[in-house]
C-alpha cells in the first residue's frame, strides 16, 4: 500500500473517532486533567450547577426564598420539604448537629420538657422569641407571642386580666396542650413564659428541649408563613405556688438561690443565698444532664426560691429545679430591695 493511500485511510479513521459521542457533560469533580487548578475548576462548575445539595430542599418559590442557600448549615431529612412559603430567613447556626431524641431519663420530673422529636399536630406551638419578625423561619404551625408581652418593663408579671387577654387574643385556651420555644433556650424567654402559663393554671404546658437553634441543628422542618389562630376567651385558674413574696422569703423557711452574676452576688445578696446562675445549669444550649451535681448543696425536701433582677435568667434556673423535682418558686430581687429600703426609712 502506497504512503498516500495509508495517509488517506488514517485521516478517515481520525474523523470517525471524533464524531463518536464519548461524553456529553464534561469531567466529574476531580476526574479530568491534573493538579489543584483542574480540580478547583471542576468543583466550582459542580457547585454552580443545578445538582441538589443534600439536606437542602428548594420550595416552589426557590428563586425568591432567601433560605434556599448553599450556606444553609443544617438541613432536613432527604425526601422531606422545608415547606417554606414566601421570602424568609434562617438564624445563623454554629453548625453542630443535635440528637432529637428524648432526654427524659436524665431528669427526675421531666413532665415540663418537650423533646425535639415529640412535637405533634395536637400541640399549640408558641414561638415566644422577642426578636422574631415577619418572614423569619419558625416551627410549623407556631404562633408568635413575644415573651415581653407577659411582663412589665421592670420584669414583673402583668396582672391577670392583661395576661388572659394576651393569650386569648393569640387563640390559646387554658385547656390547650401548649409547647413554648424561642430562638435559643439560653435566652430564658421560653421558660419565663412557661412560668407565666403555669401560674395562670395552664393544664398542659411544656418547654422545647432547646431553642430554634437546636431544632435546626437536629434537621427538623421549618416554615416562614405567618400563622394566626381565632381569638378565644382565656379563663385562668391561678396557681400561686409558683411565685414567692417578701413574707415567705423573710420567714427563713425556704432555701434561697441567687441567679444573678457572680459580681452582683458578691456585692449584695439575700442572707444565706446560694449562687446558681444560668451558666451553671446549661450545656450547649440545653439543660445540663448532671443537674444533681449543680444542686448538690440544696435540700430536695425544702422549698427553693430563685431570685434575680432578670426574670429570664431566673426562670431557666427555676426550670432546672422543677425538672429535678424541687418545689421551686420565683422571686424578684427588685421587690426585696424595695421592702428593705422601706424598712430602713421607717427606722
- All structural domains of the chain, each given as residue ranges with its CATH number in brackets, are 3-47 (no CATH), 104-240 (3.40.250.10), 243-346 (3.40.250.10)
Q: What 3-state DSSP class applies to 257?
A: strand
CA atoms of 82 and 59, how far apart (whole Å): 7
Q: What 3-state DSSP class applies to 103?
A: coil
| The predicted structure's pLDDT at residue 92 | 52
pLDDT tens, the chain, 347 aa long: 554 555 555 555 554 555 444 433 333 333 333 444 443 443 344 334 333 322 233 333 333 332 322 221 222 332 333 334 344 555 554 445 678 889 999 999 999 999 999 999 999 999 999 998 888 999 999 999 999 999 999 899 999 999 999 999 999 999 999 999 999 999 999 999 999 999 999 999 999 999 999 999 999 999 999 999 999 999 999 999 999 999 999 999 999 999 999 999 999 999 999 999 999 999 988 999 989 999 999 999 999 999 999 999 999 999 999 999 999 999 999 999 999 999 899 87
* Inter-residue contact 138 to 144 (CB < 8 Å): yes
Q: To 10 degrees, what angle do helices 189-200 and 311-323 make?
A: 70
CA atoms of 210 and 167, how far apart (whole Å): 23
CA atoms of 316 and 333, how far apart (whole Å): 16
| The predicted structure's pLDDT at residue 9 | 54
CA atoms of 104 and 316, how far apart (whole Å): 17
Within 17-149, strands assigned E span 113-114, 124-127, 143-144
Closest CA to 175 of 200, 203, 136, 149: 203
| The predicted structure's pLDDT at residue 131 | 92
Closest CA to 219 of 327, 72, 63: 72
CA atoms of 34 and 108, how far apart (whole Å): 61
- Residue 128, all three cell numbers: 415566644
CA atoms of 234 and 167, how far apart (whole Å): 6
CA atoms of 308 and 222, how far apart (whole Å): 34
Cite the DSSP H helix spans in the chain: 3-19, 35-47, 160-169, 189-200, 212-217, 246-250, 262-267, 291-294, 311-323, 333-346
| The predicted structure's pLDDT at residue 14 | 53
Q: Establish how many alpha carbons lie within 13 A of residue 342's alpha carbon, considering only the half-sphere containing its beta carbon.
A: 7
Q: What 3-state DSSP class applies to 237?
A: coil
Amino acid at each position: 500500500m502506497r504512503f498516500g493511500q495509508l495517509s488517506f485511510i488514517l485521516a478517515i479513521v481520525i474523523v470517525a473517532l471524533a464524531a463518536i459521542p464519548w461524553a456529553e457533560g464534561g469531567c466529574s469533580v476531580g476526574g479530568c486533567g491534573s493538579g489543584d487548578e483542574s480540580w478547583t475548576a471542576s468543583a466550582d462548575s459542580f457547585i454552580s450547577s443545578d445538582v441538589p445539595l443534600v439536606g437542602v430542599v428548594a420550595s416552589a418559590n426557590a428563586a425568591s426564598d432567601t433560605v434556599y442557600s448553599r450556606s444553609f448549615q443544617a438541613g432536613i431529612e432527604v425526601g422531606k420539604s422545608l415547606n417554606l412559603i414566601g421570602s424568609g430567613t434562617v438564624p445563623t447556626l454554629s453548625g453542630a448537629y443535635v440528637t432529637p431524641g428524648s432526654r427524659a431519663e436524665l431528669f427526675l420530673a421531666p413532665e415540663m420538657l418537650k423533646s425535639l422529636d415529640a412535637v405533634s399536630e395536637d400541640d399549640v406551638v408558641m414561638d415566644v422569641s422577642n426578636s422574631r419578625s415577619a418572614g423569619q423561619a419558625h416551627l410549623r404551625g407556631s404562633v408568635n407571642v413575644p415573651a415581653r408581652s407577659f411582663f412589665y418593663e421592670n420584669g414583673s408579671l402583668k396582672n391577670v386580666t392583661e395576661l388572659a387577654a394576651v393569650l386569648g387574643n393569640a387563640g390559646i385556651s387554658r385547656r390547650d396542650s401548649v409547647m413554648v420555644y424561642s430562638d435559643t433556650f439560653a435566652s430564658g424567654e421560653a421558660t419565663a413564659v412557661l412560668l407565666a402559663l403555669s401560674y395562670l393554671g395552664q393544664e398542659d404546658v411544656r418547654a422545647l428541649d432547646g431553642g430554634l437553634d437546636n431544632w435546626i441543628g437536629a434537621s427538623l422542618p421549618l416554615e416562614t408563613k405567618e400563622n394566626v389562630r381565632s381569638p378565644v376567651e382565656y379563663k385562668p385558674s391561678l396557681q400561686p405556688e409558683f411565685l414567692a413574696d417578701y413574707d415567705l422569703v423573710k420567714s427563713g423557711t425556704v432555701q434561697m438561690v441567687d441567679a444573678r452574676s457572680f459580681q452582683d452576688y458578691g456585692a449584695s445578696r439575700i442572707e444565706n443565698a446560694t449562687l446558681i446562675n444560668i451558666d451553671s445549669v446549661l450545656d450547649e444550649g440545653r439543660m445540663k444532664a448532671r443537674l444533681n451535681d449543680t444542686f448538690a448543696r440544696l435540700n430536695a425536701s425544702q422549698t427553693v426560691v430563685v431570685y434575680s433582677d432578670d426574670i429570664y435568667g431566673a426562670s431557666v434556673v427555676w426550670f432546672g429545679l422543677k425538672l429535678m423535682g424541687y418545689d421551686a418558686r420565683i422571686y424578684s430581687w427588685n421587690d426585696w430591695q424595695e421592702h428593705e429600703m422601706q424598712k430602713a426609712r421607717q427606722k
